[in-house]
Copies of this chain bind each other. A is one copy, B any other.
Amino acid sequence: MKRLVLAEGKSADTHYGKTMRGILRYAPETVVAILDSERAGETHEGFPVVGSVDDALSFDPDTATVGVATQGGRFPPAWIDILRSCIAKGLHVENGLHVFLSDDPELAELARRHGVELRDLRKPPPDLSTATGANLEVPAQIVLTVGSDCAIGKMTVSCELDAEARRRGLKSLLVPTGQTGMAIAGWGIAVDAVVSDFLAGAAEQLVIEGHERGGELLWVEGQGAILHPLYSGVTVGLLHGSVPHLYVLCHEAGRINMEVDEAKPYPIPPLRELIDLYEAIALPQRPAKVGAVALNTRELSEEDARAAIAATEAETGLPTDDPVRFGAAKLVDAVLARL
């Protein structure tokens, strides 16, 4: 795959650009250019930024991937023109937003005419149902990332810990539950797009498939946060359907409020309270503890980052590290010791 990552107006955005960042970091071999007219001519992490689809053609992309997640997952109207251009230039379009391109009659007809596919990553598979309990029979160790907020690094941490475990020769596998993880790993279900009643059933199906794909150590990408006012239902349904043996709690150093609405602060509770709540809500059939804390320190100097990690270890009593910045060895050690 040779991807043009669509990130119009948001390629530098640390919140809404998380799909793009995940692809650049964990599947960079698939990317040829980034589209963002506000930064045309620049480079971003070594990739050329172009201002239009026409300008991207010299990099010979075959697929345009929507790299930006908007709140609620709908398409801003301005994007439709960009998508039309991509299709008209013969690019497949890969889309992780809630609105399905394949449901748009005009885009679908345009795609048909130009012989390209509209791949809606969030379109749930048609055979979903409620959970059956087969999740508890999966002969694998299951580790779920949980968070103090959305967009705090749960997918990143799952990818980093999986990569480290694979480097150690373990039969380790990422279980993708969102559009970015799916774009990286090439399979998965976007659980937040599933009908609520089938949420745990979808999560169950994912851990079963993860084991069928050869995983004996499954890193399930968490979603949302248990006290997030918008997405907690997804968090808990995924938690109960994926039946983890252990959690890794993801937090960002210094983040005080959840990123919901600047006008209405939703404070993040103390980490110990969060840990207690995640542990209390584990199914009695599959008790799970938090085994380690992954601390996102991207906003801090290295010295401050090390101090923040030490402070979080003292606060939680749990091994803590920033696996992106300092490597995933310490957290993988902690997880393996507790499984």
Give the interface of A toward B (CB within 8 A): 71-74, 98, 129-133, 136, 191-201, 226-241, 260-261, 264, 266-267, 269, 273, 276-277, 280-281, 283-285
Which of A72, A131, A197, A238 gathers most chain B CB within 10 Å? A197
Contact partner of A283 among B198, B229, B238, CB < 8 A? B229
Question: A199-B233, A201-B230 given. 7 additional CB < 8 A pairs?
Answer: A130-B230, A200-B232, A226-B236, A229-B241, A229-B283, A230-B240, A234-B237
Bound-state Cα–Cα, A193 to B199, Å: 11
Knowing A237-B234, A281-B281 are in contact, say whether A195-B194 is a contact too (CB < 8 A): yes
Q: Are B200 and A231 in contact (CB under 8 A)?
A: yes
Q: Are B284 and A200 in contact (CB under 8 A)?
A: no
- What is the CB-to-nearest-CB distance from A22 to chain B, in angstroms, rounded to a whole number? 18
- What is the CB-to-nearest-CB distance from A72 to chain B, in angstroms, rounded to a whole number? 5
Q: Are A233 and B200 in contact (CB under 8 A)?
A: yes
Knowing A233-B238, A281-B227 are in contact, say whether A197-B133 is a contact too (CB < 8 A): no
- What is the CB-to-nearest-CB distance from A280 to chain B, in angstroms, rounded to a whole number? 6
19 contacts between A and B (CB under 8 A): A72-B130, A132-B261, A133-B229, A191-B196, A193-B195, A194-B195, A195-B196, A197-B230, A199-B233, A200-B230, A200-B233, A229-B240, A232-B281, A266-B285, A267-B284, A269-B284, A277-B280, A277-B281, A280-B280
Bound-state Cα–Cα, A233 to B194, Å: 11
Knowing A197-B73, A197-B192, A232-B200 are in contact, say whether A227-B283 is a contact too (CB < 8 A): yes
What residues on B are CB-neighbors of A136 within 8 Å?
Answer: 264
What residues on B are CB-neighbors of A198 within 8 Å?
Answer: 72
Bound-state Cα–Cα, A42 to B119, Å: 54
Bound-state Cα–Cα, A276 to B276, Å: 12
Q: Are B232 and A237 in contact (CB under 8 A)?
A: yes
Which B-chain residue is minimally distant from A131 (CB atoms)?
Answer: B230
Which 7 pairs, one residue from A and one from B, show the smallest C-beta to C-beta distance?
Answer: A233-B237, A192-B197, A199-B233, A236-B236, A233-B233, A72-B130, A196-B234
Which B-chain residue is minimally distant from A229 (CB atoms)?
Answer: B240
Bound-state Cα–Cα, A191 to B237, Å: 14
What residues on B are CB-neighbors of A235 within 8 Å?
Answer: 233, 236
